[in-house]
Amino acid sequence: MRIRGLLKLAAAAALACGGLTAAGAQQGSANVPGAANTTPTTAAAAPTAQPASPLLAQNGAPVIVADPEIGRPQDHQIGIQPQVTRNGEFASWFHNIILMPLITAISVFVLALLVWVVIRYRKAANPIPSKTSHNTAIEIAWTVIPVLLLVLIAIPSIGLLQAQFKPAPANAVTLKATGNQWYWTYSYPDYGDFEITANMLKERDQVTGGERFRTDADGPRLLAVDNRVVLPVGVPIRLITTSADVIHSWALPAFWFKLDAVPGRLNESSFTIEKPGLYFGQCSELCGARHPFMPIAVQAVDRATFARWVVAKGGKLPGAAEAAAPSGAVIPQPGAAGNPTETPGEFTVPPAGPNPGTPALPATPQGATRNSQAGGNPGQ
């Protein structure tokens, strides 16, 4: 027992001496110039990588969640989507204030005439029909009144058509949309000609492992895409459409805009987005088996956000002199002289006359009668 007690006392004394020694060493190091008086730690972990801009998502697009009330079709909706361009606002006014009341009045008037004729001139009420064959006043009225109505409708209608195909002004942002079976390719010629490809996002149960699927933040079913088109608000947009295979059509209802994309042809029109937001559309030309799976998603943002997006996608911002110049050079039609996409000597006009590489076919007698010189047509 005495030995155990002595061992415990010796261990306690050793621990006490060790503590005093460590404290003295720490105090001594504090007195040494340049020495640190903190406990050494392991190397600090590397900071988490941050995106280039908090406004940009993984695909470089600004973080904008789809608004269920604007830029998309609504359940049980009757009428035109809320418009965000001047042409669209005018067209919506023309439709709601002029056309719909006029069409409704004409339909009610014709229905009332039919009901009146059925009741007033039925056999029981009118056993002896009238033999009147002409009524000058009625004939003048039903000719002049429709002509006046058509003229009144034509005046704003022609103005709207003219505004829809008005050429883009200087300093417009050029967007080239190319239709493919079945997706869209976009390029920005004024910003380094960088390119993005937009495909429809599939549903959760349609994708394989690791593949991105649609969420409510991306947009509604069949309209959400993996890469959205980003355009600035308040700046004229010069849209050029073409196609790589068959005829497509770039249509966005909230912009009151629709422009066909034809192979071998460049179509052009312009619009200006007045309100920021996320807007959806679709290809509106029957283009094949997957025609209903070519959605369009456009994000309208302010100019500063648009500039950051261009840089994030690898584009180039134009200088002051370039920004003051008209929007882009003339883009020649596919196949035209000077088109940089055409390789010189790639296509030559064949000579006139029969193709020398095609063997001549034997003459076949035509007609319903036998040809005695040719021995008769066996097919007749």
pLDDT digit string (tens) for the chain, length 380 residues = 444 554 455 555 544 444 444 443 343 433 434 433 333 333 333 343 344 444 455 555 566 777 777 888 888 888 889 999 999 999 999 999 999 999 999 999 999 999 999 998 888 888 888 877 888 898 999 999 999 999 999 999 999 988 888 888 888 999 999 999 999 999 999 998 899 999 999 988 888 877 888 888 888 899 999 889 999 999 999 999 999 999 999 999 999 999 999 999 999 999 999 999 999 999 999 999 999 999 999 999 999 889 989 988 888 888 644 554 554 445 444 444 544 444 444 444 445 444 444 444 444 443 333 444 444 444 43
Strand order in the sheet with 173-180: 194-198, 183-188, 173-180, 236-243, 267-272
Q: Which residues of 213-250 are buried (b: 16+ CB within 10 A; e: fewer)?
A: ebeeebbeebbbbbbbbbbbbebbbbbbbbbeebebbb
Q: What is the pLDDT of residue 319?
A: 67
Q: What is the pLDDT of residue 4?
A: 52
Predicted TM-score (pTM) of the model is 0.64
Q: What is the pLDDT of residue 44?
A: 39
Please state, in angstroms and rounded to a whole number, the distance separating the CA atoms of residues 83 and 76. 18
DSSP 220: S
Contacts of 342 (CB under 8 A, 6+ apart): 334, 335, 336
- Cβ contact 365:377 at 8 Å: yes
Q: Where are the beta strands (DSSP E) in the chain?
A: 173-180, 183-188, 194-198, 229-232, 236-243, 248-252, 257-261, 267-272, 277-283, 295-301
Please state, in angstroms and rounded to a whole number, the distance separating the CA atoms of residues 352 and 152. 53
Contacts of 244 (CB under 8 A, 6+ apart): 178, 179, 180, 185, 263
DSSP 97: I
